[in-house]
Amino acid sequence: MDSTVSHSLRLRFDLAYDGTDFHGWARQEGLRTVEGLLAAALDTATGAAHRLTVAGRTDAGVHARGQVVHVDVGEAELDRAVGRSGLEATEALRRRLAALLARESDGPRGTSDLVVTKVSYAPAGFDARFSALSRSYTYRICDDPRSYDPLRRRDVLWLGERLDVDAMNRAARPLLGEHDFLSYCKPREGATTIRELQRLEAVRTAGLVEVTAQADAFCHSMVRALVGALMRVGTGRRGEDWPSRRLAERSRDTGEAVVAPPHPLTLESVRYPPDGELAGRARLTRARRDCG
């Protein structure tokens, strides 16, 4: 059957990945990326090329536990992926992708640094990017050299200075809400830098300092720039009012931008509204933000 005329099904993929050996999410010619590897596996399984839509692009070295993607697949293509497995179609596709991805990893046999944890039929109106209410990231720091764990070196920043977590949280509070975060972003041409920062909090737990950032969406490098500013406060290099003053400047040209390293950052989750509100949320998000 010609997949161009067969009925199309929208699928949701839930993903987790170790970003260490990826050059970020977006497909780039000649480079190993999350999108490139996943798309290649899907195309092999279905026998057709597909366009993936992701909830949030991650930079090179950034990890994910709760990334979300949607893709439109023809019925005939899905049938090809299922084959004679006898399994429900979405589970058969998940297993097929797991086998293909494991072949492309340099890790221990049978493992992969990219895992599709779930494949499901997307509800009507679902858009992985535009239907999302929020994205939540965690940045992990060890500020006690006696506690450096070499098994966590790929997702924890080793810092030789003690952080003042209370000062970091006091500095974070004025950043909450809807603002123009130009001072904390690498702006893309034609894209707004207005975002609603819903949570920015540092917590000392299990020997680490974990900074959680949640927003309706994030600009390029925004989370790492926010963490970098809070770390400046936490080490005493800047006063607690400095991050809010940087926000008010609305400029990347002051030489004050501090972007924390990417490897301790993990996309933890993406939150969506109830099924009946997915399409409306997508329409609202597509409208350009305006602080009024």
pLDDT, tens digit, 9 for 90 and up, residues 55-106: 999 999 999 999 999 999 999 999 998 887 778 999 999 999 999 999 988 8
268 and 240 in one domain? yes
- Asked if residue 3 is part of any domain, the answer here is no
- Asked if residue 262 is part of any domain, the answer here is yes
159 and 214 in one domain? yes
Last residue of a domain, one of 99, 121, 143: 121
Q: Domain residues for 17?
A: 8-121
Please, is 146 exposed, middle or buried when counting C-beta atoms within 10 Å of its C-beta (0-12, 13-18, 19+)?
exposed
Tens-place pLDDT, residues 216-268 = 999 999 999 999 999 999 999 999 999 999 999 988 765 667 899 999 999 99
143 is catalytic: no
Single-letter amino acid, residue 74: G
Single-letter amino acid, residue 77: E
CA dist., res. 133 & res. 138, Å (int): 17
261 and 171 in one domain? yes
Q: How far is CA 80 from CA 44, 45, 46, 75, 93, in A?
A: 10, 7, 6, 9, 9
86 and 55 in one domain? yes
Q: How confident is the model at residue 4 (pLDDT cuts 50, 70, 90)?
A: very low
Question: Could you tell me if residue 84 is left (phi over 0), alpha (psi between -120 and 50 degrees) or otherwise beta?
Answer: alpha
Any idea which of 18-32, 182-196, 207-221 has the lowest mean pLDDT?
Answer: 182-196
215 and 106 in one domain? no
- Asked if residue 1 is part of any domain, the answer here is no
Q: How confident is the model at residue 288 (pLDDT cuts 50, 70, 90)?
A: low
- Asked if residue 2 is part of any domain, the answer here is no
The predicted structure's pLDDT at residue 6: 59
Cβ atoms of 202 and 163 closer than 8 Å: yes
Estimate the share of the chain in helix, then strand, then coil, as percent rounded to the nearest 5.
30, 25, 45
The predicted structure's pLDDT at residue 106: 81
271 and 144 in one domain? yes
Bridge partners of 114?
A: 17
- Tally of domains in the chain: 2
- Asked if residue 287 is part of any domain, the answer here is no
CATH of the domain at 53: 3.30.70.580
71 and 12 in one domain? yes
Q: What is the largest CA-CA distance in the chain?
A: 65
Structure tokens at 121: 């039929």
Torsion angle (degrees, nearest 10) of CA 40, 46, 48, 51: -60
Please, is 128 exposed, middle or buried when counting C-beta atoms within 10 Å of its C-beta (0-12, 13-18, 19+)?
buried
| pTM summary value | 0.93
- Asked if residue 292 is part of any domain, the answer here is no
The predicted structure's pLDDT at residue 84: 79
Structure tokens at 286: 């597509």
From the candidates 2, 18, 43, 59, give the one annotated as an active-site residue: 59
140 and 263 in one domain? yes
198 vs 110: which has the higher pLDDT = 198
The predicted structure's pLDDT at residue 2: 45
Q: Buried b / exposed e across 64-86, counting CB within 10 Å, b at 16+?
A: bbbbbbbbebbebbbebbbeeee
- The CB density around residue 233, as the number of other CB atoms within 10 Å, is 23
95 and 209 in one domain? no
Name the average pLDDT for the chain: 92
CA dist., res. 226 & res. 283, Å (int): 28
Please, which contacts does 195-204 make with residues 24 or more away whose CB atoms are closer than 8 Å?
195/219, 195/222, 195/289, 197/226, 198/134, 199/136, 200/172, 200/175, 200/176, 200/226, 200/230, 201/169, 201/172, 202/163, 202/165, 202/168, 202/169, 202/172, 202/230, 202/234, 203/165, 204/165
Bridge partners of 210?
A: 140, 203
- Asked if residue 57 is part of any domain, the answer here is yes
139 and 107 in one domain? no
